[in-house]
Chains A and B, each alone.
Chain A
Amino acid sequence: MNALPPTAATVAHDTPAYNFAYLDEQTKRMIRRAILKGIAIPGYQVPFASREMPMPYGWGTGGVQVTAAVLGPDDVLKVIDQGADDTTNAVAIRGFFRKTAGVRTTTHTAEATVIQTRHRIPEAPLAEHQILVYQVPIPEPLRFLEPRETETRTMHALEEYGLMHVKLYEDIARHGHIATTYAYPVKVDGRYIMDPSPTPKFDNPKMHRSKALQLFGAGREKRIYAIPPHTDVVSLDFEDHPFKVQTFAQPCALCAAEGVYLDEVLLDDKGGRMFVCSDTDNCEERRAAGHRGALAGDDISRKDRS
């Protein structure tokens, strides 16, 4: 959002069938109104008229529409999927905006002004000039136990959130601890209960008072919600079962980072495995800065990860 996009202009060097960032200006204005409403009421799910995008649902059409609505020609876009910049999904979305908006793209978190993500928040703290756009499959945290939309809407309106703790109670009753590790519910600005999308709960603390604007788009479900910068985001828990993030027994095998989210990578078909940064950019930057993990000498190309 560094500058307003050229009004109704097409991108000169590419096919003239597309408006800047694919969506027409009227649609983008509609989406921006939903975003502004979301920012005004942190954590509240704003309905919006989700459009068909030239990609299937599940590929982040909600996130893509939000990105299209906030992107300006001077923005630098980063797209991550499970923390990686090089998955099919991330490459496709990055290519889509390069083609339809002509914007610069990057894999470096610090360089990006808009970051679209599925499943992760970058390890490097975000800054005030950055926007993090989440792709959301199911925006309603109460749906798990209450399928009636009219009822969940009333529950949000009246702040009746006992049901969220019923879910956590069930976790403890079954597993002895809160076993929810993804899409872990949070309370935003002391008011709305929100589903942070399927990010690991490891990332929940990063949402709390983040300097960056956080926007959430659910395409199929036609909902947008937002966390403005510096907003309180608190993970739900019980007094005797407080919220805890995942911890890892060893540091990243490639860059020796600790306190970051690690993925398990199989090395061979004999059960060999290692744990490496899920945030590929963070890992690469650390290695470029000279950090070496236990297996850093091995020739493990990123493409072997899946």
Chain B
Amino acid sequence: MSALAALPESGEEKPLLHVSKLSHWYGERLGCRDVSFDVYPGEVVAIVGESGSGKTTLLNCLAGRLRPTAGVVEYLMRDGRARNVLSLTEAERRFLARTDWGFVHQNPSDGLRMTVSAGANVGERLMAIGDRHYGTIRETALDWLGRVEIASDRIDDEPRAFSGGMRQRLQIARNLVTRPRLVFMDEPTGGLDVSVQARLLDLLRSLVTDLGLAAIIVTHDLAVARLLSHRMLVMKNGVVVEQGLTDRLLDDPRHAYTQLLVSSILQV
């Protein structure tokens, strides 16, 4: 089983996200330290590690949800200029977060409005950027529900009535409706049954490919990284111990910790 389709041509292309020497400390305790990597348009990067490895801290720093202690995170805006995410105003950052970015939480109820309909959940971002035509919003919501395999007759149901897998697919549709170029995902298949996980992975894989999305996926599950990512960062105790192309890293892990991870997963 191979990873995603070939890496997009990177050539002279500028990275979409440029991360340099990023560190975060919770007081005396290390969150993550000296993390540097780039994400190119259309590229999927997996951040792999056990719980406590610093991967979620790193993700939250990248997505502007947590202010890092040190380092630089630059994002290539739609106008072609790279901006330091950390120096955006709150208004700019929130606008970016609901237009050009997505964030898929492990627990769908953290990313959905549980008391409004599926259609309104998908339509919210459109209304937030000024769409004022009900019919158009609803058509777009129907289209996106279809793309994440939610039946159109569920459009007026609240996510409370949905299964875990459906909720997660709804959360994905809610994020993708504004055609973001970068999506952050925190254990997107965590907490789901194995069969539901497989279906969700399949869906994510085709969405990412079809839409040319760049994504940063945090996971403790090497199988998720293998299926979805072009490149991997392996984290342990707050530092990246190894990074590289997913295929290379899984076939020929160099760091002892990566070797341990790979050997334990491949036996399953």
A residues with a Cβ closer than 8 A to B are: 145, 154, 158, 160, 162-163, 165-166, 169-170, 172-174, 237-241
State whether A239 touches B132 (Cβ < 8 A).
yes
- Please give the distance in Å from B46's CB to the nearest CB on chain A: 31
- Please give the distance in Å from B196's CB to the nearest CB on chain A: 27
The verdict on A158 contacting B90 (CB below 8 Å), with A145-B113, A166-B123, A169-B123 known, is: yes
B residues with a Cβ closer than 8 A to A are: 90-91, 94, 113, 115-117, 119-120, 123-125, 127-129, 132-135, 137-138, 155-156
Q: Which residue of A lies closest to B129 (CB)?
A: A162
State whether A240 touches B127 (Cβ < 8 A).
no
Taking CB atoms, residues of chain A closer than 8 Å to B127 are: 162-163, 165-166, 169
Taking CB atoms, residues of chain A closer than 8 Å to B135 are: 240
- Please give the distance in Å from A164's CB to the nearest CB on chain B: 8
State whether B116 touches A170 (Cβ < 8 A).
yes
Distance, CA A173 to CA B139, complexed state (A): 12
Distance, CA A239 to CA B116, complexed state (A): 21
The verdict on A170 contacting B125 (CB below 8 Å), with A154-B90, A158-B90, A238-B133 known, is: no
Taking CB atoms, residues of chain B closer than 8 Å to A166 are: 113, 116, 120, 123-124, 127
- Please give the distance in Å from B151's CB to the nearest CB on chain A: 16
Distance, CA A170 to CA B118, complexed state (A): 10
The verdict on A238 contacting B113 (CB below 8 Å), with A158-B90, A158-B91, A162-B129 known, is: no
Taking CB atoms, residues of chain A closer than 8 Å to B128 are: 160, 162-163
State whether A173 touches B156 (Cβ < 8 A).
yes
Q: Which residue of A lies closest to B158 (CB)?
A: A170
State whether A165 touches B132 (Cβ < 8 A).
yes
State whether B134 touches A169 (Cβ < 8 A).
yes
Closest 7 CB pairs of A and B: A162-B128, A165-B127, A238-B134, A162-B127, A158-B91, A239-B133, A166-B120
State whether A238 touches B132 (Cβ < 8 A).
yes
Distance, CA A170 to CA B127, complexed state (A): 12
- Please give the distance in Å from B179's CB to the nearest CB on chain A: 17
State whether A169 touches B132 (Cβ < 8 A).
no
Distance, CA A145 to CA B158, complexed state (A): 13
- Please give the distance in Å from B8's CB to the nearest CB on chain A: 32
- Of the residues A160, A165, A170, A172, contact of B94 by C-beta under 8 Å: A160
Q: Which residue of B lies closest to A172 (CB)?
A: B134
Taking CB atoms, residues of chain A closer than 8 Å to B113 are: 145, 166
State whether B120 touches A169 (Cβ < 8 A).
yes
